[in-house]
């Protein structure tokens, strides 16, 4: 599946697996994944978020469906609709952000015991993927079903 940017879902997944992903809990900015630093604050996020033992942490956005840019007012409206849906389900959530190479996009982080909620939100808001974190690692999940999931691994630099 290609977007108007000319990238396939496989190429997008490779890019998204190298995005810096953060969430805010009680005013503290926690780095869930950084391509240079790894999973710096991931364990702390599970502690601060008071996650149950079997819970995973999901990060998803409603911005720019189908990986196509659109006006911020439409993005903000869909993001608010996603938060309303989580609220109605009684799911607590936290602000999040994904960033890479001068690009930044807000999102939402929440804990859940299964992938079903994140997958349904991705479908509802036209997202091609979302992030799923255990207490020690993360995956960039392909919501289209074409690719599967890409592990988020820190970049390793070879010594000079």
Distance separating alpha carbons of residues 88 and 73, to the nearest angstrom: 23
For 140, counting Cβ atoms within 10 Å of its Cβ (0-12 exposed, 13-18 middle, 19+ buried), the class is buried
Q: How confident is the model at residue 157 (pLDDT cuts 50, 70, 90)?
A: low
* From 9-13, 62-66, 107-111, 140-144, the region with the lowest mean pLDDT: 9-13
Which tens digit of pLDDT belongs to each residue from 94-153?
Answer: 999 999 988 899 999 999 988 999 999 999 999 999 999 999 999 999 998 887 788 888
pLDDT the model gives residue 137? 94
* Domain boundaries, given as residue ranges, for the chain: 9-151
- pTM here is 0.88
Q: Which of the two residues, 18 and 83, has the higher pLDDT score?
A: 83
HEC profile of the chain? CECCCCCEHHHHHHHHCCCEEEEEECCEEEEEEECCCECCCHHHHHHHCCCCCCCEEEEECCCCHHHCCCCHHHHHHHHHHHHHHHHHCCCCEEEEEEEECCEEEEEEEEEECCCHHHHHHHHHCCCCEEEEECCCCEEEEECCCCCCEEECCCCCCCCC
Averaged confidence pLDDT in the chain: 88
């Amino acid at each position: 599946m290609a977007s108007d940017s000319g990238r396939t879902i496989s190429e997008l997944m490779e890019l998204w697996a190298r995005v810096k992903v953060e969430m805010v809990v009680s005013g503290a900015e926690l780095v869930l994944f950084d391509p240079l630093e790894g999973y710096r604050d991931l364990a702390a996020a599970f502690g601060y978020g008071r996650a149950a033992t079997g819970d995973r942490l999901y990060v998803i956005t409603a911005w720019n469906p189908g990986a196509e840019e659109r006006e911020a007012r439409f993005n903000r409206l869909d993001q608010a609709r996603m938060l309303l849906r989580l609220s109605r389900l009684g799911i607590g959530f936290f602000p999040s952000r994904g960033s890479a190479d001068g690009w930044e996009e807000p999102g939402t982080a929440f804990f859940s015991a299964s992938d079903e909620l994140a997958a349904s939100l991705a479908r509802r808001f036209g997202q091609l993927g979302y992030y799923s974190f255990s207490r020690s690692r993360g995956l960039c999940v392909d919501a289209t079903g074409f690719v599967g999931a890409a592990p988020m691994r820190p970049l390793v630099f070879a010594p000079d």
